[in-house]
Amino acid sequence: MQGDMHRCAAKCCDDAHSSLEEVHRCIEKCSEQLNKAQNQVQGDLGHFQDRLQRCVMQCQDNIRDKVGPNTTDAETHEYKNEFDSCVVKCADTHIGLLPHMLKRMKHSFQ
């Protein structure tokens, strides 16, 4: 895709009859598809990261709800283990989403 964009832009530059403005417009047009693809990937990755972050924040909230002023060291240790387990579950769940996300991205580029 990137190679196609550069070949297209090179053809724009090779046109000796076009004005500088026309060459710039031509190059921008050549870049549209690649820019759209990059924006799609960035958007999908941002959405994925947001979902993962929300999951981890929910783990934090669940533990915070359990912690009180009289929480013992043993309970603190137990809550840390619960939090770690919750975060691992978040990671595993979201890793499972990656193949579908990649498939969707590839499909949108065709």
Q: What is the domain partition of the chain in residue ranges?
A: 2-109
Q: Does the structure show a pLDDT above 80 at 109?
A: no
The DSSP element (H or E) to which 69 belongs, if any, is none
Contact 10, 31 (CB under 8 A): no
Closest-CA residue to 63 (of 74, 75, 53): 75
Percentage of the chain exceeding pLDDT 90: 79
Segment 5-31 shows an average pLDDT of 92
pLDDT surpasses 90 at 15: no
pLDDT tens for 24-77 read: 999 999 999 889 888 989 999 999 999 999 999 999 999 999 999 999 999 999
Q: Please tell me the pTM assigned to this model.
A: 0.73
Q: Which of 84, 64, 62, 82 is nearest to 74 (CA)?
A: 82
Share of the chain above pLDDT 70, in %: 100
DSSP 8-state assignment for residue 16: T
